[in-house]
Amino acid sequence: MHELSVTQELLELVGRSVPQGQLHLVREIKVRVGMNGHLLPDSLEFCYEAIKGEFGLSAARMEIIKIPVTARCKTCGLRFEVQENRYLCSACGSSSLTVLTGNELHLSELILDDE
């Protein structure tokens, strides 16, 4: 499952981002995920719940911030949101597009409790 390795990488990144000995203080992890269909938020959530304990993050919840896929048409210049992976300009029907957002996957924020 692709989501599992992605989740492992994210949690390793959390481990490297938090000062030593403070991992148990992490309460929330915010992750920005592009909705290009490569990663399913439900699966990410499932994997996260399954393995967070191994990373010392049992007390932390994950919030997924979904980033819509947007593109700009190279033919007519329209910017629009790509719905259901239909990579066609909604104005002129061109398939010549520049994808602007929707491929993201990164750790956006870590929220720690005060000691």
| Strands in the chain per DSSP E | 26-34, 61-67, 70-73, 79-81, 97-101, 105-112
Q: Judged by CB under 5 A, does residue 91 bind Zn ion? A: yes
**CA 23 to CA 93: how far, in whole Å?**
50
CB of 83: closest distance to Zn ion in angstroms? 15
Stretch near Zn ion under the rule CB under 5 A, chosen from 7-15, 43-51, 75-83, 102-110: 75-83
Residues β-bridged to residue 30: 63, 109
Q: Judged by CB under 5 A, does residue 18 bind Zn ion? A: no
Q: Judged by CB under 5 A, does residue 111 bind Zn ion? A: no
The residue within the footprint of Zn ion, chosen from 43, 70, 94, 101 (CB under 5 A), is 94
CB of 70: closest distance to Zn ion in angstroms? 13
Cα angle for residues 98, 101, 104 (degrees, 5° grid): 130
